[in-house]
Structure 1
Amino acid sequence: MGQQAQGLRYLQQALQFAHQIKLPYRAMEIYQVIARYNQQMGNYQQALTYFTRYDLLRDSLALLENLRLMNELEVQYQAGQKDQEINVLTQKSKTRAIQMYATLGIMGILIISGIVFGLQFRTIRRKNILLNTQNEQINEQAEKLKLLMKELHHRVKNNLQIVSSLLSLQSNRLQDEDARRAVKVGRQRIEAMSLIHRSLYQQDNPNLVNMREYITDLAESLMESFGVSKGELKLDLCISVAELDVDKALPIGLIINEWVTNAFKYAYPNVPEPHLSINLQDNNGLQLLIQDNGPGLPAAVWEKPQTSFGLKLVKVLSKQLNGTCSVQNQNGTTFTLHVPETTLKKAS
């Protein structure tokens, strides 16, 4: 950089000296060299200035040369050809002037366009930087919200487990068997909700429940609650729905809890080889089937469950999902729930 700057100073001194001793051709060449130097260094404004001076001086020298030729022609061809040559040279001068002005105009337009484009580029770059900053802030807030939701589900799960433990302790002090069963059923409902929040705490998305994992844990929890080992019950789970929003997963989990609890209480006591099947699939909406091989549920009990809070809860939860449920008695009891696709889309 130091040598280039020193070279530029020498060129400027040479230019000044050329003007002093009246060497226009040398001055024209120096203008061209300085202009190319500024162009290489990125000083486009200075480069344009020196190129303009170079063009003007070159055109002036050319014009002087033309005038000299005109004078020679005047001497050679006398008065008859004098006017014709003057007109030709004058026309050439005008043409050169027009070309020079056109060149200057085009260069001016290019310079203005470059300035406008540069300003637009700077504006767009600033907006992009601002958008990137805002996106980073949004992502950071979303991550914090995700952590808060996980912590919330974790605390709710712990609180529900505490309530379940308190009910368990309370049931041990109860003497009435019906009261003990009622507390047991209540504990299982709390456990069903607790499993939901445990699944949400473990998921990357704190609003989606892994249904295969959740229903498996729920069924195993019910078996453990009623003292049924895996060898005593043939359990078939077919869960093709991967994930559900918590607003849909929770009522479905409570419905499964109530129906399977009812099966353990009334369907299997006199069945030598109990069988339970739970199927959750996507069939123009959401379809849940729960089947056992017990004696069946009387139609009157299903239609008007006066004394069964569990069956009433199943119907209320089905209505909450805008679903339709039905019961069939054929080689046991089959409960069917269908939730329309429009309800699932609203949830999503």
Structure 2
Amino acid sequence: MNKIQYKTDDQTRLMFRFVYVSTTLTAILGVFCLYPLKIYGVVPFAFFVYSVLNLFNISWFKKRGNLKATAIRSGVISLLVTIAIILYSGGIASPFIFILGVIVLGGYAGARIFGTIYLNAVILIIVLIYAVGEAQFSFIINDVPTESKPHFSLISLLFAVYLVGGVFGKTLLRAHEALNRSKAEIEIRIMEKELLLREVHHRVKNNLQTVSSLLSLQAKNSANDKIKELIHSSQNRVISMAMIHEMLYIRNNLSKIEFRPYVQELTDYLMNSTDCKNKNIRIKLHIPEVALCIDTAIPLGLVINEAVTNSLKYGFIDNGTGQIDISLKKEDAKNAYVLGIKDDGIGFSEELNFKNTKSLGLKLIHNLARQLRGSVKRNSFAKGTEYQIAFLDVDRHLVHGN
């Protein structure tokens, strides 16, 4: 049963309990007013009218349904009858005026908008009742005899207190306890799913590392340097994905990656694994503290892997120095970013692009940019090359409603 169903059931139970209890008590109060207290006129008549109208209202609900319409009718009946009893039992000094507060509470128990409407209406009504009392209209008579006023005050206060505590208080407490139980169950399920998801990331990371180890063994068993280089490139791509699953496993957030630490770890690995020991090359990161979705981070990691690997292998001459800058900038549009990867190496021809090259790395960069629903731009300079990848960080699970 979902939260909305819980709320609807609680409202229905509260309405039935309020109607049955208030109907029974007002009928008893009507009889009590007539005989022991000798109160005649509008006050006992209003009690009886309220009981009858409430019974008709609840019968209508059982036949037609529509909880909201029934609650509105019940609120209007309660308000009109309460105003009549207040006016004919002392006006602003009537003890029955406290029932107006109960009506406001009932409105808020049904819905916030009803509570707000009843609150404003009751405030206005109290002011009007005070004004009527000050104007001393001759047609409004206090039906409560002087000797019965203390007794009427007692039963009015007991009636108000019982409705607040015995009806609304108990029902709201049960609803609160049920909500807490539901919340505890949901939290347990969330914890179980988080543990399961962590285990999935851990196993994916282990499987990717196994694939990397197999590729490494395959490379060692090959005498062909070209094949070794291709296998090593594939190994780096696998490691770039394994790093993401490892970070998701060890960190609290299971859906987003802290991008700067990830890029730092990835570039450190590439520097250590690529044959650039004789090159004085630095990698500088200009990345703010930002967390990206896993569906965004994995393609970006592969893009960085390809671009940085190409720069380290081909962008700098032997024994030379150089610098690779990786930046990430937030654009004005929602979830829009631009990833920049720039080196000050020897660069390559402007005519060479992903369409006419045999380089898998260049083709991957453009394909991955399309996967990110973005675009890639390559700028060639007199010295160096720069890639700018514009993309949107969108959680595809949310987009597809999974």
Instruction: Give runs of aligned pairs for residues 145-160 of structure 1, distance below 5 A.
Output: 145-160=193-208
Aligned to 1:105: 152
Instruction: Give runs of aligned pairs for residues 1-348 of structure 1, distance below 5 A.
Output: 98-118=145-165, 119-229=167-277, 232-270=280-318, 272-284=320-332, 285-330=336-381, 331-340=383-392, 343=394
Give TM-score, length-normalised by structure 2: 0.59
1:302 match: secondary structure: coil
1:236 match: secondary structure: strand
Tell me by how many angstroms 1:314 deviates: 0.9
Distance 2:361 2:179 in 1: 53
Distance 1:136 1:344 in 2: 27
**2:276 and 2:313 in contact (8 A); partners too:** no
Single out whichever of 248-257 and 269-278 deviates more from structure 2. Answer: 269-278
Are residues 199 and 191 of structure 1, via their aligned partners in 2, closer, same or farther at CA, if it must alter by over 3 Å? same
Tell me by how many angstroms 1:271 deviates: 6.8
Q: Deviations over 1:84-122 (max 9, x none)?
A: xxxxxxxxxxx9x92233433332232222221121101
Aligned to 2:89: none
Residue identity over aligned pairs, in percent, reads: 30
2:346 match: secondary structure: coil
Distance 2:218 2:249 in 1: 28
Aligned to 1:42: none
Distance 1:231 1:115 in 2: 85
Matched to 1:174, the amino acid is S
Give TM-score, length-normalised by structure 1: 0.67
Greater fraction helix? 1
Distance 1:324 1:241 in 2: 23
Distance 1:305 1:134 in 2: 60
Q: Deviations over 1:307-346 (max 9, x none)?
A: 12211111111111111210111120011111247x4799
Tell me by how many angstroms 1:189 deviates: 0.2
Tell me by how many angstroms 1:347 deviates: 6.6
**1:239 and 1:280 in contact (8 A); partners too:** yes
* Over 6 Å off, 4+ runs: 344-348
Distance 2:265 2:323 in 1: 17
Matched to 1:189, the amino acid is R
Q: Deviations over 1:14-39 (max 9, x none)?
A: xxxxxxxxxxxxxxxxxxxxxxxxxx
Distance 1:271 1:231 in 2: 5
Q: Deviations over 1:122-179 (max 9, x none)?
A: 1011111111121122222222222221111111111111110011001111122211
- Supply the RMSD in Å over aligned alpha carbons: 2.7
Question: Which one has the largest radius of gyration?
Answer: 1
Tell me by how many angstroms 1:303 deviates: 5.0
Are residues 267 and 347 of structure 1, via their aligned partners in 2, closer, same or farther at CA, if it must alter by over 3 Å? farther
Distance 2:210 2:259 in 1: 24
Are residues 216 and 148 of structure 1, via their aligned partners in 2, closer, same or farther at CA, if it must alter by over 3 Å? same
Distance 1:111 1:277 in 2: 77
Uncovered stretches (5+) of structure 2, i.e. residues with no partner:
1-31, 37-141
**1:153 and 1:198 in contact (8 A); partners too:** yes
Number of residue equivalences = 255
Q: Deviations over 1:197-255 (max 9, x none)?
A: 11111210111112111101110111111133597212211111421111111111110
Are residues 238 and 222 of structure 1, via their aligned partners in 2, closer, same or farther at CA, if it must alter by over 3 Å? same
Matched to 2:343, the amino acid is D
Are residues 305 and 214 of structure 1, via their aligned partners in 2, closer, same or farther at CA, if it must alter by over 3 Å? farther
Are residues 344 and 189 of structure 1, via their aligned partners in 2, closer, same or farther at CA, if it must alter by over 3 Å? same
**1:326 and 1:335 in contact (8 A); partners too:** yes
**2:295 and 2:395 in contact (8 A); partners too:** no
Distance 2:396 2:363 in 1: 26
Q: Deviations over 1:260-293 (max 9, x none)?
A: 1111222124571122111123233211111112
